[in-house]
Amino acid sequence: MFESLSEKLEGAWRKLRGQDRITEGNIDEALREVRRALLEADVNFQVAKEFVADVRDDALGAEVVSGVTPDQQFIKIVHDQLVALMGEQNVPLAEPRAKGRPAVVLMAGLQGTGKTTASAKLALYLQKNGQKPLLAAADVYRPAAIDQLQTLGGQIQVPVFTLGKEADPVDIARASLERAIADRHDVLIVDTAGRLSIDDAMMAELERIKAAIDPEEILLVVDAMTGQEAANLTRAFHDRLGITGAILTKLDGDTRGGAALSVRKISGQPIKFVGVGEKVEALQPFYPERMASRILG
């Protein structure tokens, strides 16, 4: 499907081979290939540019390692930088802030990104880990969003809190938190409305929900197929809401997942989970190492 970065670097490597170290004179072509590979993997242009500059500094400053050819050393530097940028480790979901309160997870994102599906997937994932989640249906605008969440909740046997589609989303969120506390749920996942594009009314509503329930997590749901746009999207949501992490959906599709790099670099917050299919089981924790290999191909 994709030509791997190592294949693409072949040409550039040939120049590095036979030389005993990476120098200003021989690194540029290899760096150009890295940048091309990142762009092809949907990494945002600016993010790719900064990344390549960092790799350049690292590679030029690298000590000569005996028994390792410069091309091997170079690819390791690229890989390590990618992993470092994506946060090294998987970061688990936040714990409840206080005793007697659930960990509240506010789901945010554009319509169609997989927010409702991701809410149910996350509930199932946490339930399998011995937790007792409650789902809240605060998307009152998209026709059928409440039904969809109820159907999914039924499938995984997780209760869904709703006040119907006439209620105010802020009231729904607040009441769902009261219910979660009363019924001793340890996690509350609030599904919210998205729009087709970034929109002031959507952001204002999310801010009001945030103020009402003071969530432990605000997870931005990003469609991995969004490509370059993932960067702008992240900036817009992070500036208004202060996201604490992201879920990257539709990674089963035809993308290398460079959006992960953009989201992380722009918000500084970790990708916590990835969606890998339409089924409710298709959610996995995010592992930076795996994603680095996928992006590099």
Q: Which residues bind ligand GDP (CB under 6 A)?
A: 109, 111-117, 194, 249-250, 252-253, 275-278, 282
Q: Are 131 and 160 in contact (CB under 8 A)?
A: no
Q: Which is closer to ligand GDP, CB of 242 or CB of 253?
A: 253
Q: Which is closer to ligand GDP, CB of 112 or CB of 154?
A: 112
- CB 149, min distance to ligand GDP, A: 9
Which DSSP letter does residue 225 get?
G
What CA–CA distance (Å, rounded) separates 27 from 216? 45
- CB 96, min distance to ligand GDP, A: 25
Rg (alpha carbons) of the chain, rounded to whole number = 21
Token code pair at residue 231: 């960067």
Q: Which is closer to ligand GDP, CB of 33 or CB of 191?
A: 191
- CB 131, min distance to ligand GDP, A: 21
Q: Which is closer to ligand GDP, CB of 9 or CB of 248?
A: 248
Q: Which is closer to ligand GDP, CB of 59 or CB of 108?
A: 108
Q: Which is closer to ligand GDP, CB of 72 or CB of 284?
A: 284
What CA–CA distance (Å, rounded) separates 26 from 12? 8
Which amino acid, residue 19? Q
Residues 6+ apart with CB under 8 A from 10: none
Token code pair at residue 104: 């509240």
Token code pair at residue 25: 């004179």
Residue 251 in marked binding region: yes
CA distance to 80, 137, 184, 194, per residue, from 164 (Å):
49, 8, 23, 17
- CB 248, min distance to ligand GDP, A: 9
Residues 6+ apart with CB under 8 A from 176: 134, 136, 138, 161, 188, 190, 213
Which amino acid, residue 78? V
- CB 24, min distance to ligand GDP, A: 43
Residue 253 in marked binding region: no
- CB 247, min distance to ligand GDP, A: 9
Q: Which is closer to ligand GDP, CB of 24 or CB of 254?
A: 254
CB atoms within 10 A of CB 66: 6
Residue 117 in marked binding region: no
- CB 278, min distance to ligand GDP, A: 4
CA distance to 151, 204, 233, per residue, from 146 (Å):
9, 21, 25
Q: Are 112 and 196 in contact (CB under 8 A)?
A: yes
Beta bridge partners of 134: 188
The annotated binding site is made up of: 109-116, 191-195, 249-252
The annotated binding site for GTP is made up of: 109-116, 191-195, 249-252
